[in-house]
Structure 1
């Protein structure tokens, strides 16, 4: 795998993680969810990643990441049921575009074959 972080001039680049709890990747904004009574992490309290995933609603758009400024996406980790490979559409917009630069079924984007 090519390491984009080794490009000349990127040694001072900042890295950050986007997650269900922190879709903008802001520093110190992850693990702020307070677990509800029905959450298995309820005894851990605030400060733990108690919402590491989201449930997608049918026929609705869900924002996965909202990143400001230039950058490089080096890793995407998505765990879904097999049905989602065909039924979920991934859209990516760059620089305030009105039409997506990427619009593809999730399984095709991930090169995952589903029967």
Structure 2
């Protein structure tokens, strides 16, 4: 049985390769049968906002919009409460199904039994 995977992404277009790697790992986790949740903080929150997603434009990489779509379809996406507030975002600004959650929720999820958490 595959254990749950949490991917925390702390950057956006300013660190394109790191951001793309996080989304690639999340999508591959889903392909491997893992329960995947992505936690977005800082500039990464824009990946959860329709029409505001950064285009990372990386050679030899799957377009980030495709990776985000795959995770939205089969995984869970969370946006940091404080990060959303600083950008004046509410759940109505986010893709359907994306939730706003705080640090306590992240810690609870990351400390659950058999979870693998990765931070990018």
Q: Normalising to structure 2: TM-score of the pair?
A: 0.28
* Higher percent of residues as helix: 2
Is the radius of gyration larger for structure 1 or structure 2? 1
- Indicate the structure whose relative CO is greater, using CA pairs within 8 Å and at least 6 residues apart: 2
TM-score, scaled relative to structure 1: 0.29
